[in-house]
Structure formats: structure tokens, C-alpha cells
């Protein structure tokens, strides 16, 4: 017998889970991901960090703004008043690409895992958009939840 | 010297590229990606495909709707009147997860790669949302452009 | 055997229908609907039309704006560049309520029936919102397509 | 003298009512509505519920997502953090159509009647969209509030 | 040495400021602004206030609705559940234009200055839109915060 | 007798003007505006342009993204497929503030004046948001249309 999905009621019908009885506590989530690409595209984006460039800053900002749209994108996700969001991109010569890390917090009745994961995804897509004239074979990978605190289900820390 | 990013003008300032002189042609893009998870979570979602379940259908629909929001999410992406969109999810026992494929078309002045990639990303995020009570260690990976047709820059076909 | 739904492919999977090969022609649709209520609520809203009132104007404007959001609300609806929209509300003592009529046009590859019907629905909901402190038993009814012109499938005129 | 609309100040000017002093309590609303159509269209949609079909599930999901957009659609409606939403569609041979029921909850300072009514409306519009190639004479009717709990104004139960 | 921007962390990276530890209190802000234009355009809009006209009411409503979209427009602005919003436009023969005043309140962890300023801006833009066929040289000016109450940083009252 | 507003029909009822018969041509608009502030706030934002700062880039990007939302903000504004958008901010010691210039193009049936003006407004609001902890008395002023080309009504060039 398979485990039960929380988004299905006893009739198997999809619903938005009721979180009205949960406490309003401080909740925080961190997610990461990466995008890898050709050396040419990688260097162009990385150098876009220089005095006048802003490719990575554009992508970080896109991620922050996407965190605020999460409940509009994910059908059964609850709307949440985000209290904090930040996205950091690190260039990595080793993987010829970029590591993305997003952190989101709220005071609310449900967690912000989806907000952090959405921020990482849209940050990666924005980098793709800006480099796609140079390389169409880029790969977005390893989008995972790193940690989560707050809420009744307890804290989570990814072990690698 | 690194290659030039199309989204930067001669001053290095970020802009939305001018596509006004491009022809309005039929353009199509296909993207894929995957999400892997524990056996327990995988089976719950896969069995959610049964007579009453609709976890995967919810995720497919979320992907289609996200394709229409692409220019709202990606800062320098042009708004496009999408003429067709579909998303298909296949369960894979082998990877203990799901393969997602999105196809988007338009009649427009620029391509729909970002729309197809966004559809795949949001489909994966929606699966994550529905299974996260069962497994927090899921991984979204290998989001890539498979093919692209239409437009002056020529067709693209990924070779694996 | 039942008729085939256009939004399902041969596998029964939901999709956004491909309209890329359709001609870009002038298309127009008219929809109507009504909301009925207690005499007290009806008079308050109707008198809200006076020198300083603007309850009905608020509702008409809400309908026009909703027409522009149609493809964001209806999952498989194509985004369309609306070229014209108007909504007119008529007070009717006879039904103790209001008759709503919306007309929408576009130059596009698919019709604007959904835009006109959405405009009527949101206009009615907005009237409900403004009168709900006076009457909770209001009824929104008879939302129908009155006529439709343009497009290959031919014109449609409702006969009553 | 007619009753006073809450959305108008003493000058008759439209405003969003101040709910800042209201208590944050659990509030819940249920709304219903129906869409009737030709036998052909009805059977196609109803059979779309089979092993591979998902017409009704698409419509239910559209209703849930619309509940989250209510304050964006209804001009003077307050934004609310919805804590729960579900939509259920029942096929009815008798009326040759579908009965829609939506239930929405929140912890907030104002009720969710508009969210429940919006969910019903958009669910009906989505069914219309998917069946409109088969029948253009469908009718959306009887959208009403069934019940409402929570808040100072007391509970409401429709009597039929 | 220049003052520190709150939206930058110690690395100078842009972020959404963390307001999770702030108290949820009643906060209120008032902003004003003006739009001036030719006599012809001014009179047309002003007379649009007559028995059937509604140019200014349209603009006021646009401002109220824009207040609800503030966090979607301003990248690092926190989403807030607005509890009250109103916009008032006064015609001024003296300046051949209109004075706009917006007032917004919330119960939340951060202020609503941006919501009030956004409401004024969009109200002015909407007036521009409706008069632009008559005058393209209109000027939107003097958008300022008039007062602000609530929150730890204390009240603010503009002195002119 | 006052001039006629294009957004009102013969009954004085507000509508979205019909542009369906207009030609689809290349249209372009340029708008400018300014925000002035205390020396302290000015320098903090201006220095935010340094190696790691990105306050002004954040504001420019917000302006570009807002151009895409124009028809969602301005009630009677037509949705348009923008083909190009850019925003440039110049620091001015002289005015202790920033000059904003936005340029938007489209291939469409109506102009992009509102898109350019909206981009300037939201850019200014975003600067305000980032400096408001330092100065609450900032002033957004002189938002005007500089030039406009394309369309039947002829070109417009502001003369100062």
C-alpha cells in the first residue's frame, strides 16, 4: 500500500490542505541548485559581474521576486507573507557554471520550502535566458532543499 | 575576451533585447527535466495516477499555466502569445522518479525556449509540493532544451 | 460514443489546443448575465448610480479588467491581445437586480467568448461584493454567450 | 431612503473598507453554482472523468487557483491568506450539467465569501471553455453563497 | 562615508530585508501627488465627473487596485495584507490639473508607505492614459509621503 | 464645450477604446522623470553603484518589468507585446537625485506611451523603497513623455 498524499482527500480529490489550525511561527528554508554551460557562455556571464555587468544580479533579483509569486505558480501552495528573501549566485570554474542558494523566511502557518525552491529555479532560468544566445545546451540541475526550520514537523537538514 | 551577452548594451546595461525587426514566424520548443525521490514518495505520486488520483495531472496543468507566465517571471523575456502548450509526465521505476516533457509553440518574433523550460520547472516544483510531506530530499535535475525550430538563428536539436 | 473534447489529445491528456495555423482575423463576442437580490440591496446599488455613487461603475470597470486576465484564470485559454472591451449594467426593477452585458473584440487566432463571459462573471461578483453587507442571498444567473463573430467555425447568434 | 453601501464613504466615494480593527478569526464560506448544456456536451465532459480524462479535474483546479486571485479580480476585496480551498464538481444527468461546490477557509480579518464565489465562477467558466466546441449555448446559473461561519456579523446558512 | 542601505547585506548584495522579528501593529501611510495638463484636457477630465462621466472614478479605483499589487511591482517590497485603501482626486483650476491623495492601512510587520505612493502613481498614470489623446505634454509631479504612523521607527509627518 | 475623452462612449460610459482597425506598426516611446532626496540618501544610493552595489540596477530592472505589467495596472490600457524595453538612471549631484529615462517599443495597434511612463514611475518608486530608511521626504517629479513615434496620430517630440 502506498503512502497517502496530503493534497488528496479521502475521495482522492485534489485540495489545498487546511493549515488554519497550525501555529503562526517563524519558518525558514534554504534551497540550492546549479546551472552548467559551455566555457564561452560561463565566462561571458561570470564576466558580466564586472564593473558594468549585472547578469547575475538580474538573476538574483528574479529569484527574489519569484519567491513572492510561488503560490500563484504552484496550484495547491498557500499564499504566505514572506518576511525575508535573498538569493546568492557563486561562479564555479570547476563545474563551468553557477551555484545558486536561496533563503526565505516567513511568520506563518506553513513552511517556505516551495518559495526557496521556486527562487532557485527562476534564478537558474534567468541565467539561462541571458546566456542562451551563446549556448543552448545548458543544464539546470540538483535543485534540492538544504534545510528547513520551524513548524510542527520539525527541522530538516540535508545530509550529503 | 569573453563573448557578448545579448541582454547588455554597449554600456553593459541590462535591457530587453529589441526583437521588433524579427519576422513573425511559427516557433516551437521542447524541454525536458526530471525529479527523483524515495521509493515511498515515488509510489504515492505514481499511484496518484489511478482512477481517482490526479497528482500528476495537477502538475501537468501547473506547467501549462506557468508557460503563460514566463515573461512575468524572467525579467528580460518578451511577452509572447503562446499558440499551443502541453506537458507530459512519465513515471520511471528505474530512476524512482518522473520524466517531464513540455512543448510550446507560438507565432511570434522570438522563440519559446524559456516558456518550455519554465513549464518543465514548475511541473517539477508542483510534484515536489505534493510529495514533500513524504520526502524532503527530492531532487529536480537535468532541465534542458531538447529542440527548437523556427526563427533566423536556425533549428537546434540536442545531441546526447 | 461521446463527442471528443478539443482540449484532450489522443491519449486523453489535457493540453492547450494549437491555434498557430488559424488566421489572425477580427473576432468579437458578446455575453450577458444577471444578479438578483433583495429590494433593499437592489435599491442601494441602483441608487449608488447617483451624482456621487459609483458602485455600478466600479463593477463595469472590474469586468473590463477581468477580460484582460482571462488566460491567467482559465487554464487552457490562449493569451490574446484584446483590442476592445466594454461592459454595461442595466438596473431592472422587474427582476430586482441587474442585467450585465459585456462585449470584447480582438485581432487574433482564436475567439474571445471566454473573455466576454469572464467579464460578465467578474462584474457580477463585484456587485455581490459591494452589496453583501445588505444581502447574502443574492444569486448570479444566466451567464450565456449571446453572439460571436469571426473565425472559421462561423458566426453564432443565440436564439431565445 | 436606501440602505448604505459599506464600500462608500460619507462622500459616496468608493473605498476599500477598513478591517484593521476586526479580529483575526477562523472564517469559512461555501458557495455553489451550476452549468447546464446539451446532452452531447454533457456526456463528453462527464466521460472526460474516465481513466484518462481530466476535464473536471482541470476545472476544479482552476477554481482553487482562482480563489487565491480573488483580491486581484474584485477591486475592493481585501487580500487574505487562504488556509484551505477545495472544489468539487458533481455530474447531474437530471439537469444535463454539473453542480459545483467550493469551500474556502482563512484565518483573517474578513470573510471568504468572495473567494468561494469566485472559485465557483471560474470552475464553471473552465468547464465552458473545454466544452465550447461542442455547445455554445451553455448556461452558468445559480451561483449563491450556501453558508458562512466566523466573524462578528454572525453565521449565515442559506435556506432554500 | 555614505550611509548604509537597508536592502544591501554586508557583501553589498541586494536582499529583501528581514522583518520577521518586527511586531504586527497597525500601520498607516498617506501620500500625495499631482498631474497638470492643458486647459482643454483638464476640463475634459474634470467634466468627466458629471452625471455620466467617470474618468476620475476610474483613476481612483486604479489606484486602490495598484496598492494591492505593490509587492509585485517593487522588487524588495514585502507582501502585506492591506486592511484599508482609499484614493481621492481633487480638481484644481489653479494648477490646471488634479491633486491625488491616497491612504493605506495594514496590520503588519512593515509599513505601507510604498503602497500609498504606488496608489498615487498609478492613479496619475490612469488620468494620463484617459487624457492623452487631448494632451501629450501632461506632467506627473510632487509624489511625496505626507505622513506615516505605526512601527518602531516612529511616526512621520511631512512639513512643507 | 469640453473636448471628448476617447475612453467614453456616447453615453459617457467608460470603455477600452477599439483599436482593432488600426495598423500593426512599429511604435516607440520615451519617457523621463526624476527623484530628488537628501544628500545622505543620494550619496548612499549613488555609491550603491560601486563594485558590489546594485541599488540602481535593481531599480532599472523593476522599471523594465513594470513596462510588461502596464495593461494590468492601467484599467483601459490595451495589452501589447512589447518588443524592446530599457531604463537608464543617471545620478545628478546638481539636483541631489536621479534622472530616469525609459524607452519602450512594440509592433502593435496602439502606442507604448503608458508603458514608458509606467517604467519611469516604478523605477522611481523602487529607488524610493531602497532609500526610505534614510530619507522619508524624497520627491518624485516631472514624469513626462519625451517622444513618441509610429501610429496614425503622428510623431510627438516634447519641446522644453
| CATH code: domain of residue E128 | 3.30.70.640
If one counts the domains in chain A, the total is 1
ipTM of the predicted structure? 0.95
For chain B, 160 residues long, give each residue's pLDDT as a single digit of tens: 456 677 777 776 788 988 888 888 899 999 999 999 999 999 999 987 544 457 899 999 999 999 999 999 999 999 999 999 999 999 999 999 999 999 999 998 899 999 999 999 999 999 999 999 899 999 999 999 999 999 877 899 998 7
Which of F27, F97, F132 is the best mutation test for E, with the most CBs of E within 10 A? F132
Residue A15 falls within a domain, yes or no?
no
Residue E50 confidence class, pLDDT cut points 50, 70, 90: very low
Contact yes or no for C54 and E54 at CB 8 A: yes
Average pLDDT of the residues of chain A: 90
Q: Cα–Cα distance between C76 and B64 in angstroms, integer?
A: 8
Q: Is B114 annotated as a binding residue?
A: yes
Q: What pLDDT shows up at residue C147?
A: 96
Question: Nearest CA to CA, how far is C135 from chain F (Å)?
Answer: 27
Those chains having 3 or more beta-carbon pairs within 8 angstroms of chain E are A, C, D, F
Cell numbers placing C139: 444569486
Residue with cell 509572447: B80
Helix ranges restricted to H, chain E: 39-47, 55-68, 70-73, 113-131
- CB contact at 8 A, B57 and A75: no
Residue C50 confidence class, pLDDT cut points 50, 70, 90: very low
Q: What pLDDT shows up at residue E127?
A: 96
- Convert the pLDDT of each residue in D93-108 to its tens digit: 999 999 999 999 999 8
Q: Cα–Cα distance between C76 and C72 in angstroms, integer?
A: 9
Residue B60 falls within a domain, yes or no?
yes
Question: Nearest CA to CA, how far is A60 from chain F (Å)?
Answer: 10
* B89-93, D1-5, E151-155, F19-23: least confidently modelled range: D1-5
Element containing residue B64 per DSSP (H, E):
helix B55-67
| Nearest residue of C to residue B81, measured between CA atoms | C79
Strands C97-108 and D97-108, bridge-based pairing = unpaired
Q: Collect all residues with Cβ–Cβ distance below 8 Å to C58 and sequence separation of at least 6.
A: C126, C130, D7, D14, D75, D76, E57, E61
Contact yes or no for B74 and A7 at CB 8 A: no
**What average pLDDT does this structure show over C78-93?**
94
Those chains having 3 or more beta-carbon pairs within 8 angstroms of chain B are A, C, D, F
Residue B11 falls within a domain, yes or no?
no
- CB contact at 8 A, D34 and D97: yes
- CB contact at 8 A, A15 and A76: yes
| Closest CA relative to residue B131, chosen from D34, E37, D102, A3 | A3
Q: Chain centroid to CA E127: how far?
A: 14
From E129, E142, E155, E159, the catalytic residue: E129
- Convert the pLDDT of each residue in C92-103 to its tens digit: 999 999 999 999
Residue B73 falls within a domain, yes or no?
yes
* B110-119, C7-16, E121-130, F137-146: least confidently modelled range: C7-16
Residue C38 falls within a domain, yes or no?
yes
Residue with cell 540538483: A142
Q: What pLDDT shows up at residue A1?
A: 42
Contact yes or no for B84 and C17 at CB 8 A: yes
Residue ranges at the known binding site of A for substrate:
76-78, 114-115
Contact yes or no for B51 and D51 at CB 8 A: yes
Phi/psi for B41 (5° steps) reads -65, -40
Q: Is C103 annotated as a binding residue?
A: no
Question: Nearest CA to CA, how far is B17 from chain F (Å)?
Answer: 6
Q: Is the pLDDT of residue A52 over 70?
A: no
Residue with cell 467558466: D125
Q: Cα–Cα distance between A144 and A34 in angstroms, integer?
A: 10
Those chains having 3 or more beta-carbon pairs within 8 angstroms of chain D are A, B, C, E
- CB contact at 8 A, B82 and B106: yes
For chain F, 160 residues long, give each residue's pLDDT as a single digit of tens: 456 677 777 776 788 888 888 888 899 999 999 999 999 999 999 887 544 457 899 999 999 999 999 999 999 999 999 999 999 999 999 999 999 999 999 998 899 999 999 999 999 999 999 999 899 999 999 999 999 999 877 899 998 7
Q: Is the pLDDT of residue A143 over 80?
A: yes
From C129, C142, C155, C160, the catalytic residue: C129
From A21, A129, A142, A160, the catalytic residue: A129
Average pLDDT of the residues of chain E: 90
Residue A60 falls within a domain, yes or no?
yes
Q: How many CA atoms lie within 13 A of B5 on its CB side?
A: 32
- Convert the pLDDT of each residue in C97-151 to its tens digit: 999 999 999 998 899 999 999 999 999 999 999 999 899 999 999 999 999 999 8
Question: Nearest CA to CA, how far is E4 from chain D (Å)?
Answer: 33
Q: What pLDDT shows up at residue E2?
A: 52
Contacts of B84 in chain C (CB under 8 A): 15-20
Point out the residue among F51, F58, F65 whose CB comes nearest to the CB of A51: F51
What's the per-residue H, E or C state across A42-102? Answer: HHHHHHCCCCCCCHHHHHHHHHHHHHCCHHHHCCCCCCCCEEEEEEEEEEECCCCEEEEEE
CB pairs under 8 A between B and D: 11
Residues of chain C whose C-beta is under 8 A from some C-beta in B? 9, 13-20, 71-72, 75-76, 78-81, 108-109
Question: Nearest CA to CA, how far is F80 from chain B (Å)?
Answer: 8
Q: What pLDDT shows up at residue B154?
A: 81
> Which residue segment(s) compose the domain that E118 sits in?
25-149
For residues E62 and D17, the model is more confident at: E62
Residue B62 falls within a domain, yes or no?
yes
Q: Is B7 annotated as a binding residue?
A: no
Q: Is D7 annotated as a binding residue?
A: no
Q: What pLDDT shows up at residue F1?
A: 42
Contacts of D84 in chain A (CB under 8 A): 15-20
Contact yes or no for D5 and C48 at CB 8 A: yes
Amino acid at each position: 500500500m502506498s503512502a497517502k498524499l496530503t493534497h488528496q482527500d479521502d475521495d482522492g480529490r485534489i485540495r489545498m490542505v487546511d493549515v488554519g489550525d497550525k501555529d503562526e511561527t517563524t519558518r525558514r528554508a534554504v534551497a540550492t541548485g546549479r546551472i552548467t554551460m559551455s566555457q564561452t557562455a560561463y565566462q561571458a556571464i561570470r564576466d558580466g559581474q564586472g564593473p558594468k555587468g549585472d547578469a547575475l544580479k538580474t538573476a538574483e533579483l528574479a529569484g527574489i521576486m519569484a519567491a513572492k509569486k510561488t503560490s500563484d505558480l504552484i496550484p495547491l501552495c498557500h499564499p504566505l507573507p514572506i518576511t525575508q528573501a535573498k538569493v546568492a549566485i557563486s561562479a564555479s570554474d570547476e563545474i563551468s557554471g553557477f551555484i545558486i542558494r536561496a533563503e526565505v523566511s516567513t511568520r506563518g502557518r506553513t513552511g517556505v520550502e516551495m518559495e526557496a525552491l521556486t527562487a532557485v529555479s527562476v534564478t537558474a532560468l534567468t541565467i539561462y535566458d541571458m546566456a542562451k544566445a551563446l549556448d543552448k545546451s545548458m543544464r539546470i540541475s540538483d535543485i534540492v532543499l538544504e534545510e528547513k526550520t520551524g513548524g510542527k514537523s520539525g527541522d530538516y537538514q540535508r545530509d550529503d
